[in-house]
Amino acid sequence: MKKILQITLGIVTSVGGFLEIGSVTTAAQAGAAFGYQLLWAILLGTICLIFLVEMSGRLSAVSKHTIVAAMRERFGFPFFFIVLVGMTLVAFLVLIAELGGIGFSLQLLTGIGFPWWAIPVSLLVWLLMWKGTFGLIENGASLLGLVTISFVVAAIKLHPDWSGVAAGLAPTLPQSDKAHYGFIAVSIMGASISPYLMYFYSSGAIEDKWDESYVSVNRFIAGFGMTFGGFLSMAVLVVAAMAFQPRGVRVDSFDQSALLMTTALPRWGFYLFAISMLFACFGAALEVSLAIAYFFAQGFGWSWGEDLEPSKDARFAFVYTIIILLAAIPLVFGIDPLKVTIMSMALTAATLPLAIIPFLFLMNDPVYMSKHRNGWISNSVVAIIIVISFVLAVISIPLQIIGG
């Protein structure tokens, strides 16, 4: 029973990793521009993520290695270093976007411009990592993240055409604006299948001291957690389709996205959106920062762990301190977080093969997985995800140029 409570790892991974500035923005853009037509992209992203996250947890529980540690040991230092550089660059952009998202939420609530919030917000994120334990971050972010359920409430209150919603779950092509449609589809996939999610979940399983007995509950946690996040993203799309599309409002800036729930929930919608984004982006910022620090520490063999005091894992603490500091700088100078968000989604999609291909090998290696190696279903799904990730990698940048 206690294992089921570990659902919080699933929820925090999902709310911080799945539902964050990127997925909310892309879902809102999708709904505003194309109605329910892009729901299939969120569904596809969710299914892919369920499998990837489940495998991340299984790898850690069985092998007692995180993905990064296993990747270094199995593929050697040069390969690890290439993935380190790629993943760090993309994750760093995501971190800037998330810190910007927190700042923007505070701008909505207080009227004070988000560049002013860059330093205080970064300091708070850093402080939570400096003094907090993994359990505090995991449970705190999950609990606070539950406010995002308001997106689902808003969607239901608007009484959408449910048959139209259902139809949106199957891929269709739009009448016009195909490049823009393609770009948003790719961005949704890039926002959904974020590798840092896998690294975070895998490290979290080690932080929570999972072992082989967690293999079956991991399936439930990964499945439930990612479905929860996917569901929330779909709710955002549905609300945007009903609130923005009929009026012709496109979500080209965060300020427009703030109007998302004002139609469905007149009294509280504006504030619920701001608070939901605040907590979701906070969770995401913590998750991304930790994922980057985990990557360095686990790959190089340093001591690491959120439950350790910083003086006991100095290099790990040093990495997250530096990256949070560096991420705040562009925000102080007023860089548009939305532009960074869009770019980070496209780059995530473009670098996905780097993260997923090694994973396929690890999940079939008896040295790490013993009798819990992937079955044919999981392998088929990963193979499909690799194909999707190559397609995304090839088309994401041209699409950004043409349709972005």
Partner 1 sequence: MDLVRDVMDKKLVDRKDCEMGRVDGLVMHVGPSSQPRITHILVGGTTLWMRLGPVFSGISARLARLWGPKRTESVRIPWSRVKTVGRDIKLDVMARDTGAIDWEIWIAHHIIERIPGSGTEEEE
Partner 2 sequence: MRLERLLVFPILFCLGCKPPSPAEQMDSMLSWLATARMTGEGWLRHTTPDTYSRQTLEMSGEKIDQIAADLLRSPPSGVDTATLDSLFTRSRVRVNAMARLIAAKNAPDFGGQLDSLGADEKRVKQLADSIEHKQ
Binding of partner 1 at residue 131 (CB under 8 A)?
yes
Contacting residue, 64, 250, 372, 373, with partner 1 by CB under 8 A: 64
* Residue type for position 99: L
Task: Give the residues lining the site for partner 2 (CB under 8 A).
Answer: 82, 85-86, 89, 108, 110-111, 247-250, 252-253, 255-256, 258-259, 262, 266-267, 269-270, 343, 347, 350-351, 354, 397, 400-402
Give whichever of 18 and 214 is closer to partner 1, judged by the CB atom. Answer: 214
Name the segment binding partner 1 (CB under 8 A); options: 60-68, 208-216, 273-281, 370-378.
60-68
Contacting residue, 303, 334, 370, 402, with partner 1 by CB under 8 A: 303
Closest Cα to residue 199, out of 123, 87, 33? 87
Q: How far is the CB of 88 from partner 2 (least distance, A)?
A: 11
**Residue that has been written with the tokens 């548009």 in this structure:** 336
> Residues near 33 by Cβ (< 8 Å), separated by ≥ 6?
177, 180, 181, 184, 245, 250
247, interface contact from partner 1, partner 2, none, CB < 5-8 Å by kind? partner 2
Give whichever of 114 and 228 is closer to partner 2, judged by the CB atom. Answer: 114
Binding of partner 1 at residue 318 (CB under 8 A)?
yes
Q: How far is the CB of 312 from partner 2 (least distance, A)?
A: 33
For residue 353, the tally of other CB atoms under 10 A from its CB is 20
Binding of partner 1 at residue 69 (CB under 8 A)?
yes
Q: How far is the CB of 365 from partner 1 (least distance, A)?
A: 10
Give whichever of 4 and 82 is closer to partner 1, judged by the CB atom. Answer: 82
Q: How far is the CB of 355 from partner 2 (least distance, A)?
A: 11
Binding of partner 1 at residue 331 (CB under 8 A)?
no
Binding of partner 1 at residue 58 (CB under 8 A)?
no
Binding of partner 1 at residue 311 (CB under 8 A)?
yes
CB 62 within 8 A of CB 218: no
Closest Cα to residue 30, out of 247, 346, 245, 345? 245
Q: How far is the CB of 253 from partner 2 (least distance, A)?
A: 7
202, interface contact from partner 1, partner 2, none, CB < 5-8 Å by kind? none
Contacting residue, 49, 51, 59, 65, with partner 1 by CB under 8 A: 65
Give whichever of 314 and 401 is closer to partner 2, judged by the CB atom. Answer: 401
Name the segment binding partner 1 (CB under 8 A); options: 103-111, 112-120, 225-233, 297-305.
297-305
Q: How far is the CB of 403 from partner 2 (least distance, A)?
A: 9
* Residues of the shown chain interacting with partner 1 in the complex, contacts defined by CB under 8 A: 63-65, 69, 72-73, 76-78, 80-81, 130-131, 300-304, 309-312, 314-315, 317-318, 321, 367
